[in-house]
C-alpha cells in the first residue's frame, strides 16, 4: 500500500505540451506512472510522445480514459482554473505543481474542492511519489527507494536532501509528499499524518516544516493525540528574520508568530524528535524505533 497514489493511479496531465509539463510527463512515464491522457486546449486529437492522447478539456480526457488523478503544470495565470476544471470532472486527487497562484483565488478554490470532496495537493509543490509504484509531480525518482518511511514536507529540494539521506542509509519510503510552500494549500500535514497512520506499509514518519503559519503546531498536537507511529521532524528557517518572505509565499514570520522556535517547541512537546541538521534524520529514526 501507499498513500494517495499507487499502481491504480490513472493520471491526466494538464499542460502536457508545455515546457515543464512535457519534461515531467516523460519523467513520470519513465518512472512507470500510468499517464493516460494529457490536456492542452487546441491540441485535442494529437498524441504526446506518439502514445498519450491529448484532449482540449479535462472533462473529455476523463470521460475517455477514466483518469482518476490530475496533475497541473500550466502557467500561474491558468492554474486556479485548471484546479476547478479537474475538480469538476470528479477525479479524486489533483496535484498542482504550479507556483504563483494568488492566495485570494485559493480561498475560493479550496471551498470548491471541499464541496466536491476532491483532494488537492499544492499548489506550489513538488507533488508526491510512492517509490516503485507511481510518481505524480517532479520529485526525482532516482533518489527514492521503496520502503516504510512516510515523508511529508512543505519544501522541495530540502525534502530531496532528506530523502537522499534516508535512501543512502537504507531507509526506503512508502510515500513522499510535498504539500507545498504557499500560505493556503489543499492538503496539510495533518491530512498526511492521518493517511500515514492508516497506511500499514508506513512504519515511521518524517515531517519537514518551516517558518510561517501554525500548521506545524497543529500537526504536533495531532501527532500527540492521534499518531502511534514514530515521528521525526525538522523545521527550516531558524535564522530567518521576521517579516521577510523566505522564497516560499508561506514562509514568513508575521509579527511574533510562525517562528521556527515555537514550532520546534511544539514538536518537542508532542514527543516528536527534532533534527538539528537534515543529516540527523537517520540517527533519530533509529533512536525512535
Active site residues: 248
Straight-line distance from the first to the last Cα atom of the chain, in angstroms, rounded to the nearest whole number: 21
User: Nearest approach, Cβ of 228 to another protein (angstroms)?
Assistant: 26
187 vs 126: CA distance, rounded Å: 13
C-alpha grid cell, residue 190: 495533518
Are the C-beta atoms of residues 253 and 208 closer than 8 Å to each other?
Answer: no
By beta-carbon proximity to another protein, the closer residue of 161 and 201 is: 161
Are the C-beta atoms of residues 236 and 210 closer than 8 Å to each other?
Answer: yes
Residue 155 interacts with another protein (CB under 8 A): yes or no: yes
Residue (of 86, 105, 289, 120) closest to 206 by Cα position: 289
181 vs 5: CA distance, rounded Å: 21
Residue (of 237, 233, 236, 239) closest to 280 by Cα position: 233
Rule CB under 8 A: which of 71-110 touch another protein? 76-78, 81-82, 84-85, 88, 100-104, 106-108, 110
* Of 11, 246, 274, 284, the one binding another protein by CB under 8 A: 246
Rule CB under 8 A: which of 6-65 touch another protein? 20, 23, 41-42, 44, 56-59
**Distances 227 to 109, 268, 272 between C-alpha atoms, Å:** 29, 15, 11
Are the C-beta atoms of residues 186 and 204 closer than 8 Å to each other?
Answer: no
176 vs 58: CA distance, rounded Å: 26
Q: Which of the ranges 29-37, 197-205, 248-256, 265-273 carries the binding residues for another protein, by CB under 8 A? A: 248-256
User: Nearest approach, Cβ of 19 to another protein (angstroms)?
Assistant: 8
* Of 125, 249, 282, 284, the one binding another protein by CB under 8 A: 249
C-alpha grid cell, residue 170: 537504507
Residue 159 interacts with another protein (CB under 8 A): yes or no: yes
Task: Write the interaction track for another protein spanning residues 266-285; mark x where CB under 8 A is met and - where it is not.
Answer: ----------xxxx------
Residue 117 interacts with another protein (CB under 8 A): yes or no: no
Residue 169 interacts with another protein (CB under 8 A): yes or no: no
Name the H helices within the chain: 19-31, 58-65, 76-89, 103-116, 157-168, 189-198, 215-226, 260-269, 281-288
By beta-carbon proximity to another protein, the closer residue of 110 and 224 is: 110
Rule CB under 8 A: which of 193-212 touch another protein? 208, 210-211
User: Nearest approach, Cβ of 165 to another protein (angstroms)?
Assistant: 9
Residue 177 interacts with another protein (CB under 8 A): yes or no: no
Q: Which of the ranges 5-13, 160-168, 195-203, 265-273 carries the binding residues for another protein, by CB under 8 A? A: 160-168
By beta-carbon proximity to another protein, the closer residue of 199 and 215 is: 215
* Of 112, 190, 201, 203, the one binding another protein by CB under 8 A: 112
Residue 176 interacts with another protein (CB under 8 A): yes or no: no
Are the C-beta atoms of residues 199 and 147 closer than 8 Å to each other?
Answer: no
Amino acid at each position: 500500500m501507499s498513500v494517495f497514489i499507487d499502481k491504480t493511479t490513472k493520471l491526466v496531465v494538464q499542460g502536457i505540451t508545455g515546457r515543464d509539463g512535457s519534461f515531467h510527463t516523460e519523467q513520470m512515464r519513465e518512472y512507470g506512472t500510468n499517464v493516460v491522457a494529457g490536456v492542452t486546449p487546441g491540441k485535442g486529437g494529437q498524441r504526446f510522445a506518439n502514445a498519450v492522447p491529448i484532449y482540449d478539456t479535462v472533462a473529455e480526457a476523463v470521460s475517455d480514459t477514466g483518469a482518476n488523478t490530475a496533475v497541473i503544470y500550466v502557467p500561474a495565470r491558468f492554474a486556479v482554473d485548471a484546479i476547478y476544471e479537474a475538480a469538476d470532472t470528479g477525479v479524486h486527487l489533483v496535484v498542482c505543481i504550479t507556483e504563483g497562484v494568488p492566495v485570494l483565488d485559493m480561498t475560493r478554490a479550496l471551498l470548491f474542492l471541499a464541496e466536491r470532496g476532491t483532494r488537492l495537493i499544492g499548489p506550489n509543490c513538488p507533488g508526491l511519489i510512492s517509490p516503485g509504484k507511481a510518481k505524480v509531480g517532479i520529485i526525482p525518482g532516482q533518489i527514492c527507494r521503496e520502503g516504510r518511511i512516510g515523508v511529508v514536507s512543505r519544501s522541495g529540494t530540502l525534502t530531496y536532501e532528506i530523502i537522499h539521506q534516508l535512501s543512502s542509509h537504507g531507509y526506503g519510503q512508502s510515500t513522499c509528499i510535498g504539500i507545498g510552500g504557499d500560505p493556503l494549500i489543499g492538503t496539510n500535514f495533518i491530512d498526511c499524518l492521518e493517511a500515514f497512520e492508516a497506511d500499514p506499509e508506513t512504519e515511521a514518519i518524517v515531517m519537514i516544516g518551516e517558518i510561517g503559519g501554525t500548521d506545524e503546531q497543529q500537526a504536533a498536537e495531532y501527532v500527540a493525540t492521534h499518531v502511534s507511529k514514530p515521528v521525526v521532524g525538522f523545521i527550516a528557517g531558524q535564522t530567518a528574520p521576521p517579516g521577510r518572505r523566505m522564497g516560499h509565499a508561506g514562509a514568513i514570520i508575521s509579527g511574533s508568530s510562525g517562528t521556527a522556535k515555537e514550532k520546534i517547541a511544539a514538536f518537542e512537546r508532542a514527543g516528536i524528535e527534532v533534527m538539528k541538521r537534515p543529516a540527523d534524520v537517520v540517527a533519530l529514526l533509529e533512536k525512535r524505533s
